[in-house]
Structure 1
Amino acid sequence: MAGSLRTRGKFRLGAAFLALSLLLTACLPGPPEPPPPSPTGSPQPTTSGQSADTTVHFTAQGDIGVGSGAKKVLDVVAGLKPQLNLALGDFSYEAGIEQQFCDMVTGKLGTDFPYQLVTGNHESDGHEGDIENFVRCLPNKLPGLQGEYGTQWYADVPEKNPVVRFILVSPGIDFRNGPLDYSRDSDRWRWTTDAIDGARAENIPWTVVGMHVPCFSLGRYDCQAGEEFTNMLIDKKVDLVLSGHDHVYQRSHQLATGTSCRGLVPASFSANCLADVDSSTVQGAGTVFATIGVGGVGLYDIKSKDPEMGYFAKWSGRNQNPAMGTLDVNATSSDLSARFVPAEGYSLTDSFRIQRK
């Protein structure tokens, strides 16, 4: 009988220890949750100095105006809630109403929002607005900006452990004293190449160049940005080049120079200059160009027989799937994904992605 009691006592003591162990296990924290996916569904590994969840979210468009189209596009930007917007030139299209334009922007996006400017041809020489007035009423909001805001500047975002270096320049633009010199080995050429090379040296994951005029286009204009300057951006393997001026949306394949493509020539096409024709590309293979001259004013036609069409993956104009809207971009340390978001009443869609090796 005593042995039976001892056995039952050991059983009860063991059961008590088991219950206590299960209770303590339930109170311990579980394994950490996996990091959230990137906008395209891939994980976001870290690189030196960058947090796994650091994302730079920005929008970009040019050729805006003060009409209903501009307000619809600003509504899209407001709904997307980016950290900053790149306004790629041609703002009010009328002298003397710069403050009206600025009030329209701040009324939609707020007075503290970084609505970052680079001049277009309509305000560079004052004939349909003055870039100096726009700079006063929509001043720079990015810390650490280098250069002359509104004309030629760069900024790293975030300022500490940056993910993107934005470089905004003004080739092919007439100012009051004539065009700025972006010819090979000029001061402004060297400033631009130094800004690109500096981003590489500082291990900043992405380099984005913005300017008002493109070189290659399916719309009205020829290579106002300059053939040599444009090929330099490709040689340097800038990840993404953004522009306006032509009132169309167009996005190129990934373009590259090399042994089989010494340089892209305007008004012609060479398949040897195509690095990748997918919507998903790898960083370092080439450069993607996007023109987003659809920020609010009237659209231009697409020239369907333009020889440069072979360089482009997507296009839209007045005569082909017309749309106003904005480019919406998310960049992490490992991935840059972009999409076109149309304004109300339009249906154009486009998306592409660049991944780091």
Structure 2
Amino acid sequence: MTALSKHGGGSRLAPATSLVLAVLLTACQPGPPVPPPSSESPASPSTSAAVPSGPAGSAPAAPTTAPAAPTAPAAVHFTAQGDIGLGTGAREVLDTISSLRPELSLALGDFSYEAGREHEFCDMVTGKLGGDFPYQVVTGNHESDGHDGDIANIVGCLPNRLPGLQGEYGIQWYADYPERAPLVRFIMVSPGIRFHDGNTLDYSRGSERWRWTAAALDGARSRKIPWTVVGMHTPCLSVGKYECQAGRDFTNLLIDKKADLVLTGHDHNYQRTHQLGRGQGCPALVPDTFSGGCLTDSDSAMVKGSGTVFATVGTGGVGLYEVNDQDPEAPYFAAWSGKNRDAALGTLDVTATADRLSARFVPAAGYTFTDSFEIGRK
């Protein structure tokens, strides 16, 4: 109620009352707008969060939906091969890869075999497989030192296509595939390869690159990625032309860390071991000898975690080398193909699911040799 004072036939507000009214009118004016609570961040301590309507005293309703967890794919499909070149054989193997329709291909080194023709090699690959196809490379000895090409040029025209790649692409890298809910960690390294300065990269025991590789394998296990696949150019075990260029200690590291599958090139043939592991009967795998204690599974259906399978797939297109079934390491091998026995160019075709890794050698047109194996969970 407003108090009025009559004076001389007119009316006016009493002074005290006038002051009260002014205060009230000021309080009724609109102030600066208060922004609504953000849905992007929690309310600040001085802001009251809205409570869903419901019975008095009831707790706020729980969210009706939760963020969806990454869904693992049913399978990952990839191919692998090295020692390719620019000839008819290379084109036939690329045609074979194209017909298999993999999601990616691991290229295990030795590409153009001639300096200055790297872009021609890249054009051949993209012409057969597509410009955006993940043709994932690691250097071989023919392009590492620049004499028969340069890995930097190959990387420039066949760049990485896998998200989340760690390391130096073309030299030493790993990537989980697919990036979310991965089924496979691909680890590509370069032991036994000579570079521009005339030195080979150091993968000796305890070296930085040794530790990097060990951590990449351990990291896959800690993330519970089902499969680890290591790719590199140089093999250790072989019934072909070369000795253990990858290094004895580094090869034993891959076995100790239980890499599931190790893929190599360099020897221009196909060779695939039984599953190999270390234990009481095999304190270390020693090149150029055979120890039955290192064989953990010798049939074509193997168990994950029991050992490592080594496969040389130097059948990407260039001329083949011979194989020697009298080699002291021959009992480690389940299958081989070379110039003098079941000769075949082709690719390894691999499918990985959460429970099984299945592989088969697929020959290029005109060849008949095949091989297949699988590794499954218990």
Letter in 2 for 1:274: L
1:225 paired to 2:210: no
Cross-structure match for 2:11:
none
Aligned to 1:34: none
Residue 182 of structure 1 pairs with residue 203 of structure 2: yes
**Which aligned pairs between 1:134-213 and structure 2 lie closer than 5 A?**
134-177=154-197, 178-213=199-234
Q: CA deviation at 1:53?
A: 4.9
CA contact under 8 A between 1:50 and 1:333: conserved in structure 2? no
Question: TM-score when scaled to structure 2?
Answer: 0.81
Q: Secondary structure at the match of 2:251?
A: helix
SS of equivalent residue, structure 1 residue 310: helix
Shift of 1:131: 0.1
Task: Please state if 1:293 is matched with 2:314.
Answer: yes
Instruction: Map Cα deviations across residues 268-314 of structure 1 (whole Å, 9 max, x no partner).
Output: 10111000001000100000000000100000000121010000000
Tell me by how many angstroms 1:54 deviates: 2.2
User: Equivalent residue for 1:84?
Assistant: 104
Give me the whole-angstrom Cα distance separating, in 1, the residues matched to 2:70 and 2:292: 37
Residue in structure 2 matched with residue 104 of structure 1 by the alignment = 124
Distance 1:356-1:51 versus aligned 2 partners, 3 A rule: farther
- The answer to whether the 8 A contact 2:72-2:180 is kept is no
Q: 1:309 — aligned with what? A: 330
Partner of 1:216: 237
Q: 2:355 aligns with which of 334, 337, 346?
A: 334
Q: Kindly tell me the number of residue pairs found equivalent between the two proteins.
A: 309
Other-structure match for 1:344: 365
The one of the two structures with greater contact order (alpha-carbon pairs below 8 A, sep at least 6) is 1
Q: Report the Cα distance in structure 2 between the residues aligned to 1:285 and 1:234, rounded to whole angstroms.
A: 10
Larger Rg computed on CA atoms:
2
Partner of 1:9: none
Q: TM-score normalised to the size of structure 1?
A: 0.86
2-side partners of 1:190 and 1:53: how far apart?
Answer: 31
The runs of at least 4 consecutive aligned structure 1 residues that moved more than 3 Å come to 49-53
Q: CA deviation at 1:50?
A: 7.0
Contact 1:50/1:162, CA 8 A, preserved across alignment: no
Distance in 2, matches of 1:66 and 1:258, equals 44
Q: C-alpha distance in 1, partners of 2:360/2:276?
A: 19
Quick one: which amino acid aligns to residue 217 of structure 2?
A: I
Residue 259 of structure 2 corresponds to residue 266 of structure 1: no
Q: 2:301 aligns with which of 260, 270, 280?
A: 280
Indicate the percent of aligned positions where both proteins have the same amino acid. 68
More helix by share: 1
Do 2:70 and 2:180's aligned partners in 1 also have CA atoms closer than 8 Å? no
CA distance in 1, matches of 2:196, 2:119: 21
Q: 1:255 corresponds to which residue?
A: 276
Matches within 5 A, 1:233-252: 233-252=254-273
Do the aligned partners of 2:81 and 2:314 also contact (CA within 8 Å) in 1? Answer: yes
Cα displacement string for residues 74-102 of structure 1 (whole angstroms, at most 9, x for unaligned residues):
00000000000000000000000000000
| 1:186-227 deviations in Å (ceiling 9; x for gaps) | 000000000000000000000000000000001100000000
Q: Distance in 1 between matches of 2:71 and 2:325?
A: 45
Counterpart secondary structure, 1:133: helix
In the alignment, structure 1 segments of 5+ residues that lack a partner are 1-48
Contact 1:113–1:141 (8 Å) recurs in 2: yes
Partner residue of 2:145 out of 125, 138, 151: 125
Q: SS of the counterpart of 1:192? A: helix
Tell me if structure 1 keeps the 8 A contact 2:174–2:187. yes
Report the CA distance shift for 1:248/1:159 in structure 2 as closer, same or farther (over 3 A): same
